[in-house]
Amino acid sequence: MTGPTPAPPGYDSVEERNWAVLTHALAAVGVFFGGLLGWVAPLVTFLAKGPQSPRLRAHAVAALNFNLTWAVIDLAAMIVGQCLGLVHLWPLTWLVRLVPVVPFVFDIIATVKAGNGERYRYPLSYPLVA
């Protein structure tokens, strides 16, 4: 017989680690498929598990602030891209379409760090949620 599964380093339980990893991983999925939807999974974690665990709250707040910041930047880039497309500056419109790559990459890095039991401090993030 085996005993209970020991908690991974940096977490109180395996469930807590899974929530932290899923917060960042699903944010990356939201960015990949929706562009502007990277903030949805961190918001769910913040509302569902944030009051129960300070670690999960910290992961959710970091991911939520980062992904909200980049959703606003992405929305602005889409508007600029549409305006530039109207005047046929096609090289710039392709550059604007690369904006969602930034949050996707940093969400993947945060997923790996969360799996290792580390907190990740996102760069280029504005603190909208405290």
pLDDT 10s digits, 24-67: 999 999 999 887 889 999 999 999 999 999 999 999 999 999 99
| Helix (H) or strand (E) run with residue 3 in it | none
Query: Residue 33: left if φ>0, alpha if ψ -120 to 50, beta else—which one?
Result: alpha
Residue 1 lies in a domain: no
Range of the domain at 110: 14-115
Name the domain count of the chain: 1
Phi then psi dihedrals of residue 32, to 5 deg: -65, -45
Residues 124, 74: Cα–Cα separation, whole Å: 13
Greatest alpha-carbon span in the chain? 70
Residue 2 lies in a domain: no
Residue 98 lies in a domain: yes
Considering the entire predicted model, what is its pTM?
A: 0.85
Residue 83 lies in a domain: yes
**Residue entry with tokens 């961190």:** 42
Q: Contact 23/121 with Cβ under 8 angstroms? A: no
